[in-house]
Amino acid sequence: MTAGTALVVSAHSADFVWRCGGAIALHAEKGCAVTVVCLSYGERGESAKLWKQQGMTLDKVKAARRAEAENAAKALGVADIQFFDCGDYPLELDREARFRLVDIIRKVQPDFILSHSLDDPYNTDHPYATRVALECRMVAQAWGHRPGEKVLGAPQLYLFEPHQTEQCSWKPDTILDITPVWEKKKAAIECMEGQQHLWDYYTNVAENRANQFRRNSGGQAGGREAKYAEAFQSIFPRTVDEL
Ligand SMILES: [Zn+2]
């Protein structure tokens, strides 16, 4: 696949970097216009390092998180990043914010959408974002919503990897080789200065998923020599002419 468009729905401003930065960079290099929507800055729940600094305020944290996310988006080749500033811990979108997301989905007409796992007992904002993404995908498909606009087709929704997969009912069925763009993902990760404790962790995740990529692509019998990978769980069936 080349060109086209994609949409990432990220609960907090850094989630898209750890969980699908490689997918973003890879598709962007192929000419795909990737739009990222950050529903919140993660200002309350995912900014502990910033809050430990003297004289910190909510507005300062938001500004720092926004700058980090914009730098990371640039490193990954994101075409457009939008911040909804809906608040986190808990994240909550009213009807107006939901329709704003529907408008973006219709405008972008994504070939695929990326969001969080359907469960996450550690972070309820994450599955909330996915429910919202699913709901807005559904509304964008409805002929009766803002009649006359181009309705949405049926883009796949890929769920990116949560922090602790076993607790999140997440089971990958797709492994993407991101070796060619690893340096871009690494650069984006290093923009997330507020969460430095996760840098090594997500490098290890990428190396382990690459091991599984090699195993599932033929291993030593001719499998691809992937060094870094990202895994995803798809929601909808594929429609095919051949297996
Ligand atoms: Zn998050």
**Average pLDDT over all residues of the chain:** 95
Task: Look at residue 193 in the predicted model and tell me its pLDDT.
Answer: 76
Pairing of strands 156-160, 112-115: parallel
Task: Look at residue 220 in the predicted model and tell me its pLDDT.
Answer: 66
Task: Look at residue 221 in the predicted model and tell me its pLDDT.
Answer: 67
Contact 111, 68 (CB under 8 A): no
With a cut of 80, say whether residue 159 has pLDDT above it. Answer: yes
CA 150–ligand 1 middle distance (angstroms):
31
CA 38–ligand 1 middle distance (angstroms):
10
CA 116–ligand 1 middle distance (angstroms):
9
**pLDDT tens-digit series, residues 171-228:** 999 999 999 999 999 999 998 876 778 889 999 999 999 999 999 998 766 677 899 9
List C-alpha distances in Å: 62 to 10, 46, 89, 221. 15, 11, 14, 50
CA 237–ligand 1 middle distance (angstroms):
27
Handedness of CA 48, 75, 34, 185 (dihedral sign): negative
Rounded to whole angstroms, the Cα distance separating 156 from 36 reads 16
| Average pLDDT score over residue span 152-168 | 97
Half-sphere exposure of 4 (CA within 13 A, CB side): 13
Task: Look at residue 225 in the predicted model and tell me its pLDDT.
Answer: 85
Q: Domains in the chain and their CATH numbers?
A: 5-234 (3.40.50.10320)
For residue 210, what are its two tokens? Answer: 């690459």
Angle between helices 199-216 and 182-189 (to 10 degrees): 160
**70-74, 157-161, 212-216: least confident range:** 212-216
